[in-house]
Structure 1
Amino acid sequence: MPWLFSFLLALYLISSTALSYAAAETGLRVWIRDLDARGVAGVQLTIIDAGKQARNIQTDVQGIALVAPLPGATVRIVRATGPGGQALLMDENDPDGGLRIPLQVGALQQLDLLISDGMLFVEPVAEAEDAPSAAVAPSVTSRSTTDWPEAVATPIIEGAPTPEAIARHSQWDWLRWLVVGVLVAIISVALAWQTRTILRARRAA
Structure 2
Amino acid sequence: MTIPNLPEIPPNPSTQQLAQVVGALVQELSYLLSGFLSSDNAREFGGWIVGKTELQSKDKKVGMSTEKTVADDIRFWAGDFKTGAPNFAVTEAGKVTLKSETGYPRIEFNSANNLFAAYADADTYISLLPNYSGSVPTLVLVDANTTKAFLNRAAVGGTTLGTFDGEPLNLQSSGSFKVDGNSGVSGTFYVSATPGGPTNQAVTFYKGIRTS
Q: Same fold (TM over 0.5)?
A: no
Higher relative contact order (CA 8 A, sep 6+): 1
Relative to its length, the structure with more strand (as a share) is 2
